[in-house]
Structure 1
Amino acid sequence: MVETHHPRRGSMGYSPRKRAKSMVPNIRSWPEWDGEPKLQGFPGFKAGMSHAFMVDYRSESTTSGQEVREPVTVVEVPPVKVSGLRFYEKTHEGLKTMGEVWANQVDESLKKRLPVPNHYKTKKMWEDIDRDMVDEVRAIIHTRPKKVSGIPKKVPDIMESRIGGGTIKERIDVGEQFLGEEVNYEEFCEAGRMVDVSAITKGKGYEGHVKRWGVKLLQHKNSKSVRNVGNTGVFRPGYTRPTVPQAGQDGFHQRTELNKRVLKVGENGEEVTPEGGFVNYGNIENEYIILHGSIPGPSKRLTVMRDPVRAGKHDVHEPNLTYISTESNQGG
């Protein structure tokens, strides 16, 4: 008899498929950076999608050098505030926190997120840090949601961003310069570079077997149900294995898409805001970037961009955008 086989439906690599713990993506790995010391991660707010005409920059594409129409995503990237620094040392158990240094006076809005005092003893904190033992420097940054008209939010989101490049001493010095100051997107990335984008995907709630796992529909004569699995496993052992596709939570997971090229970095939001504003978002009033293709999450969702972990070799030059659509999307 012929031995039948087909790959299993769905991937166990994404299990357990449950709701993300936080709306703020958690960056678990950071690449090395060879240039000058800088922040390696930066947050933004997804405004929406549009389309643009540009000269195809991909050298191996069949349309290389020709004008093509491509989907793009607009992300608003207002400046972030560096409220503190966190230092790590490498141990046999991994990175271990050595201590933190906070700015003498933090942003007033941060008190809505954390129980912070009116003043930190910054000088005393620096004295407690043994700079010779530091192996990793990360900045504690937070967003400025009050500057974004499309986000009905007052409480800032706080996260860590690695400071990479140069020597450890240079990273500490750059972190000391950043402490208590605003940092713009241009200090993180320029047009033409690749970034990895992390975000919490659009939530879909409780979904069935077929939509959640992509299993085949049963025949139309099947008893009771068609959009179901054929069986839930063997009689013994007396429990259902986690490899069996079942209904449950779908969406609202953290996902990361690699190598999204930054097509443009701009300051005038009117250049890309469609007539009537972005649907479910509004107008862009801060700095913005245009990414090639789509990214996870709905509009208004917080996204975190990071230096690429699998960048490969690519030319860094600003692509030639000939047209960006600003036609109204209302009622579309």
Structure 2
Amino acid sequence: MGARKHSAPRRGSLGYSPRKRAARLVPRVKTWPEVDLGKPVPLGFIGYKAGMTHVYIVDDRQGSPTFGQEIFVPATVVEVPPVHVIAVRGYAYDPNRGLYTAGEAWVNPPSELELWRKIPTLGEFKESKLKELEEKIEKLREIRVIVATQPKMVGGLSKKKPDLLEVKIGGTSDLKAIFEYATSKLGKTIPFNEVFSVGQLIDVIAVTRGKGFQGPVKRWGVKELPRWHKHRKGSRRTGARSHGRGTWWEIPAAGQTGFHRRTEYNKRVLAYGENGLEITPAGGFLHYGLVRAPYALIAGSLPGTPKRPIVMRYPVRPPTWYLKMGVKEPQIVYVSLQSKQGN
């Protein structure tokens, strides 16, 4: 017999450590890409996950083995009602402190938005704040807007409190044009199709489904010890290896599983529609219901449970085939509207 092997590939990825609970349900976008579109455009949007279905589309990726053929694609329906622009914020740069807020101006939101549920101490709009920000335009590095969702328009939600998201305005290097665009949208709404186009790739940031406190077998995927041996302290435990000052952090251990902030890269927008009922399956989506607001159909699965806020942005690392092909609207042959309730 040969010598017993004492090494094996590690289970789980240390790149996701520490696996702790997300700090907020609506994730903050940490990186914004540099996009050259020749005009100002918001680089992100926020919606709510409704559920999944499947479609058949004609594969239009050059070099794909199934190019020109009908392929099966699972897809996620995200309800994307227009968002309200409630503030403009300018950022300056300092080598010692990085980006810092140089000024901001808030608008009086409409009463039906009920923003007071989110920000009870919101003051009145002051034109002087906007002028001060315009005077600092030469010192600014970035201009962002703060948008608020309209949960009352979402069919699967029962809450009234809007969610807020800070979105960078990009698409051009002309900061004055960006400032004019941001101020022109202050107090107005921005629809999904003004930000993204059908056929383009996007990055999706969301909080995954929470699974609570779990052991190392479920949390890290380590191998369970054989049960036919004597395991007085359990077959699903991992040995705690110490270096004298505590346990190694690389050792798989029990802890929080799920409810982590995760980013899914390069998801393709397959379709967009104004009437959500045309994409709702018979009986509605499980744990969600009917889709009444505008919707976006995104290829693949997305993190989180139904009703979870979904943050979408322009891709930070698009693949080569996408850069060569560009934005091209896919040809959808069939969209499944069968009931997903199960038996």
Q: Which moved more, 1:137-146 or 1:107-116?
A: 107-116
Find the aligned partners of 1:202 and 1:51 in 2 and give their Cα distance.
21
| Residue 46 (structure 1) aligns with | 49
- Return the letter of the residue paired with 2:197: E
Aligned with residue 171 of structure 1, among 168, 174, 178: 178
Q: Secondary structure at the match of 1:132?
A: coil
| Residue 235 (structure 2) aligns with | 226
Question: How far is the alpha carbon of 1:118 from its aligned partner?
Answer: 5.7
Label 1:238 to 1:165 Cα distance change in 2 as closer, same or farther (>3 A). Answer: closer
Label 1:244 to 1:117 Cα distance change in 2 as closer, same or farther (>3 A). Answer: closer
Aligned pairs (5 A) from 1:134-145: 134-145=140-151
TM-score (norm 1): 0.95
Aligned with residue 332 of structure 2, among 309, 315, 321: 321
Find the aligned partners of 2:201 and 2:214 in 1 and give their Cα distance.
34
Q: Does 1:282 align with 2:289?
A: yes
| Residue 202 (structure 1) aligns with | 209
Aligned with residue 242 of structure 1, among 234, 240, 249: 249
**Cα distance per residue 1:286-312 (max 9 Å; x no partner):** 111111111111111100000000013
Q: Secondary structure at the match of 2:318?
A: coil
Q: Secondary structure at the match of 1:311?
A: coil
Find the aligned partners of 1:330 and 1:215 in 2 and give their Cα distance.
34
Q: Which moved more, 1:204-213 or 1:5-14?
A: 5-14
Question: How far is the alpha carbon of 1:119 from its aligned partner?
Answer: 2.3
TM-score (norm 2): 0.92
Find the aligned partners of 1:148 and 1:43 in 2 and give their Cα distance.
12
| Residue 29 (structure 1) aligns with | 31
Find the aligned partners of 1:183 and 1:245 in 2 and give their Cα distance.
45
- Return the letter of the residue paired with 1:319: P
Q: Which moved more, 1:9-18 or 1:281-290?
A: 9-18
Find the aligned partners of 1:254 and 1:306 in 2 and give their Cα distance.
15
Q: Is the 8 A contact 2:155 2:293 kept in 1?
A: no
Question: How far is the alpha carbon of 1:106 from its aligned partner?
Answer: 1.7
Question: How far is the alpha carbon of 1:239 from its aligned partner?
Answer: 1.7
Aligned with residue 90 of structure 2, among 87, 91, 98: 87
Q: Secondary structure at the match of 2:138?
A: helix
**Cα distance per residue 1:210-257 (max 9 Å; x no partner):** 01011111122141311121x1103x4042121111111100001000
Question: How far is the alpha carbon of 1:33 from its aligned partner?
Answer: 1.1
Unaligned runs of 5+ in 1: none
| Residue 137 (structure 2) aligns with | 131
Q: Which moved more, 1:68-77 or 1:10-19?
A: 10-19
Label 1:204 to 1:3 Cα distance change in 2 as closer, same or farther (>3 A). Answer: closer
Aligned with residue 259 of structure 1, among 244, 266, 282: 266
Find the aligned partners of 1:192 and 1:117 in 2 and give their Cα distance.
39
Q: Secondary structure at the match of 2:61?
A: coil
**Cα distance per residue 1:309-330 (max 9 Å; x no partner):** 0013412111000110001112
Q: Is the 8 A contact 2:271 2:296 kept in 1?
A: yes
Q: Secondary structure at the match of 1:308?
A: coil
Unaligned runs of 5+ in 2: none
Find the aligned partners of 1:222 and 1:277 in 2 and give their Cα distance.
51
CA RMSD of aligned residues (A): 1.5
Q: Secondary structure at the match of 2:180?
A: helix
Q: Does 1:161 align with 2:164?
A: no
Find the aligned partners of 1:283 and 1:328 in 2 and give their Cα distance.
12
Find the aligned partners of 1:300 and 1:222 in 2 and give their Cα distance.
46
Label 1:238 to 1:120 Cα distance change in 2 as closer, same or farther (>3 A). Answer: same
Q: Does 1:147 align with 2:153?
A: yes
Find the aligned partners of 1:119 and 1:88 in 2 and give their Cα distance.
22
Paired residues, number: 328
Q: Secondary structure at the match of 1:270?
A: helix
Find the aligned partners of 2:128 and 2:245 in 1 and give their Cα distance.
60
Amino-acid identity (%): 44
